Chain A
């Protein structure tokens, strides 16, 4: 069983502040790392898929980095807005996607 850990489990951010959180996973036999955003009462939506060590992806104010050798990925939110409030899920892909428990982000106006 692939052990995927996300930390912190939840965090509160003041509007306008930047934040980041971590996804840790076993580094062996790695194929790809997915990030999904899951807003309340909606469906999870893919943010990024990363495959290469050192990969960086950016979508608006959200960006992610990947370190496959040490088995972690960071997701950054710059200048957080209330609409960034969601649960962010990471999922490494070996022969299937295995999701972490998520980081629940609440942005306070």
Chain B
């Protein structure tokens, strides 16, 4: 049973560029959440997708957008990259949205460096 997979594992971009990160949820999961973890901080919630729609959003600018596909996989897109976007981006999957008891299953993350 494959867990949550993310690609790529590492990425180097320059300021102003655009980036797309990908996530495949754990088998049987239908909800995908994205988190940004900057150095020395806990993961910060970006947004959550369920039934191919953004259901919740954290305090991130519109440069951060996403998509969920019919097979439940998801993409995170960041436009006009800033140096401050350098971080580890984590994808987490779960079954059903909104249940406070649902554990999240995380991928290993994509380390994004913006130069």
Cβ–Cβ < 8 Å partners of A99 in chain B:
35, 42-45
Stretch with Cβ within 8 A of A (4 or more), from B11-19, B73-81, B97-105: B97-105
Question: Chain A nearest CB: distance from B30 CB in Å?
Answer: 16
List the 7 closest A-B pairs by CB distance, nearest first.
A99-B42, A31-B100, A32-B100, A46-B103, A93-B100, A43-B106, A44-B106
**Contact residues of A with B, CB < 8 Å?**
1, 4, 6, 31-32, 34, 36, 42-46, 49, 51, 89, 91, 93-102
Main secondary structure, interface of B, reads loop
Asked if A95 and B41 sit within 8 Å, CB to CB, the answer is no
Q: How far is the CA of A93 from the CA of B56 in the complex (A)?
A: 13
Q: How far is the CA of A95 from the CA of B45 in the complex (A)?
A: 12
Asked if B107 and A43 sit within 8 Å, CB to CB, the answer is yes
New contact pairs (6) apart from A43-B105, A51-B101, CB-CB < 8 Å: A4-B42, A44-B43, A44-B104, A89-B43, A96-B45, A101-B42
Asked if B108 and A42 sit within 8 Å, CB to CB, the answer is yes
Asked if B104 and A97 sit within 8 Å, CB to CB, the answer is yes
Q: How far is the CA of A43 from the CA of B35 in the complex (A)?
A: 13
Write 27 A-B pairs (CB below 8 A) sorted by A numbering: A6-B42, A32-B100, A34-B103, A34-B104, A36-B104, A43-B3, A43-B90, A43-B105, A43-B108, A44-B104, A45-B106, A46-B105, A49-B100, A49-B101, A51-B101, A89-B42, A94-B100, A95-B56, A95-B98, A96-B45, A96-B48, A97-B104, A99-B42, A99-B44, A100-B42, A101-B40, A101-B41
